Amino acid sequence: MDWSTHRHQSYPRAFLHIDANAFFASCEKATHPEYKNKPVVTGVERGIASSFCYIAKAYGVTRGMVLSEVKKRCPNVVLLPSDYELYGMFSERMFAIVRKYTNLVEAYSIDECFAEITGMRRTLHKSYPQIAACIKQDIQEALGITVSVGLAPTKCLAKLAANWVKPDGLTFLPIRDIRAYAAKWPVEKLWGVGKQTAQYMKSIGIRTTADFIMQRESFIEQHFTKPHIDMWKELTGNVVYEIHTEKKQTYKSISKGKTFTPPSQVRSFVYSQLIKNLENACIKARRHHHVAQRVIVMLKTQEFRYQAIELHLSRASAYPHDIIPFVQKGFQQIFSEGTWYRSTQVVLAGLQLNTHIQANLFEPAVQLKKIQQVYAAVDMMSKKFGKHTVHLGASLPAQQTQHKNIRGTLPKRRTVEKLQGETDRQRLGIPMIQLGKI
DNA sequence: TCTGGGGTCCTAGGACCC
DNA sequence: TCTGGGGTCCTAGGACCC
């Protein structure tokens, strides 16, 4: 035997993708047996269908469908508000079950995880498909929810396999079967291929995953960039993506936004919405011990165009007190009189951990301390009595007035005019972002 | 699909430096 | 100095995900 040719040959690895089916609705059904045979939809608080069970799906409910339409299609529907605490608990318990089998578990989102079970056959006295089946069964018995499981030599393939049968599927995709599966898998259904890439792929004659993986590496490198080159390697059975077990606890950015209906052109109202979002974003940042270096103010117009502006703070902070002057300045730059707005958004960016918060040299230390104490009290009361027990005066209109609609006053749709104040912005050195329709 | 909310990563191009 | 090459950092914007 020529060992030199075998030395670098690696054994196929075994990855699982575990995907809870209709997760939020399933959690509700698991905790409320009386809903068992009824169509369940969650997301009432947002006015759209956030998650729905398979019964509701059979009635034609789709993601993001407005509730009035949901009721029309599905008169006996059970509409529920989202209960993220409940879903979080189910999520934790689901991942804990997977961790009984392997330490290499990556909590990818609230309802999905990846796991690697390479080398676990001996320890568990089971084949890989048997391990996958056991995990699946354990979750169902312990939590009363079903999952779709994919078992494959890479994460991308495991994800594809998990999607093969939904709900309640268990799909083993060994290397030798990759071609057969790929031939029946259109590229637009691949993890990491969206509308744009699918369109591009079609233009160069790639329609199925098989069309993609049968290309030579040189061709792929010539026609694609890193994300899709990596994807190609994974789909041909070569591991690029490892399991990340670290729990996510730091953010690159935190954003808060809210749509208001009907749209408004009232400056004070739109501004108060913005400040409310800022408060929420700051609360989240503080909860995670983050401070922001930059803030992005965004307004979305009635015709779904964004106007946005980014500002650098004078010092990193997670207190509205520090950030409001910048938000106000940005708001004044981008708000245009006579335009109808449907939502505002605040993004805190350039986040860092505030292990040692830098005080501005010119600010008296006493004052900084006071601000910190005030917000510590605010955070405590919010925790105790609910969000917005305490809030800033500037966001008052947003908290109490139900925005009123005057019928027939909405202007005709028109495109957003070019922003004014260009020279001011240039003088202040404030960059401006104008995003197209999304 | 007349459309909610919250994120991440990648890349190109400019600024700046040696 | 009309002139080469290369590195790093930052930002805007695109694309995608759940």
pLDDT of residue A434: 39
pLDDT of residue A392: 56
Question: Which residue minimizes Cα–C1' distance to B5?
Answer: A257
CA angle A425, A294, A437 (to 5 degrees): 65
Whole-number distance in Å between A305 CA and B10 C1':
24
Residue that the structure tokens 């169902």 belong to: A140
Task: Please state whether the peptide bond connecting residue A167 to the residue before it is cis, i.e. omega within 30 degrees of 0.
Answer: yes
pLDDT of residue A187: 95
Whole-number distance in Å between A432 CA and C11 C1':
11
What is chain A's pLDDT, residue by residue, as a tens digit (438 residues)?
Answer: 444 444 445 679 999 999 999 999 999 999 999 999 999 999 888 788 999 999 999 998 988 888 888 998 898 999 999 998 899 999 999 999 999 999 999 999 999 999 999 999 999 999 999 999 999 999 999 999 999 999 999 999 999 999 999 999 999 999 999 999 999 999 999 999 999 999 999 999 999 999 999 999 999 999 999 999 999 999 999 999 999 998 877 899 999 998 888 899 999 999 999 999 999 999 999 999 999 999 999 999 888 888 899 999 998 999 999 999 999 999 999 999 999 999 999 999 999 887 655 445 455 555 666 666 676 766 666 555 555 545 555 655 554 433 333 333 333 332 232 333 333 333 333 344 433 332
Question: Is the CB of residue A302 less than 8 Å from the CB of residue A270?
Answer: no
Task: Give the nearest nucleotide to A109, CA to C1'.
Answer: C18
- Identify the residues numbered 304 to 343 in chain A whose C-beta atom is closer than 7 Å to any atom of strand C: 310, 312
- Does residue A279 have an active-site annotation? no
Task: Give the nearest nucleotide to A46, CA to C1'.
Answer: B4
Evaluate if the CB of A190 falls below 7 Å from strand C: yes
Evaluate if the CB of A434 falls below 7 Å from strand C: yes
pLDDT of residue A418: 30
Among the listed residues A319, A301, A302, the one whose alpha carbon sits nearest the alpha carbon of residue A392: A319
Find all residues with CB under 8 Å of A216, minimum gap 6, and list them: none
Which tokens sit at A76? 């006996």
Q: pTM here?
A: 0.80
Listed as ranges, the nucleotides of chain C within 7 A of a protein C-beta are 11-18
pLDDT of residue A63: 85
Question: Which residue minimizes Cα–C1' distance to B9?
Answer: A227
Task: Give the nearest nucleotide to A194, CA to C1'.
Answer: C16
Question: Which residue minimizes Cα–C1' distance to B3?
Answer: A64
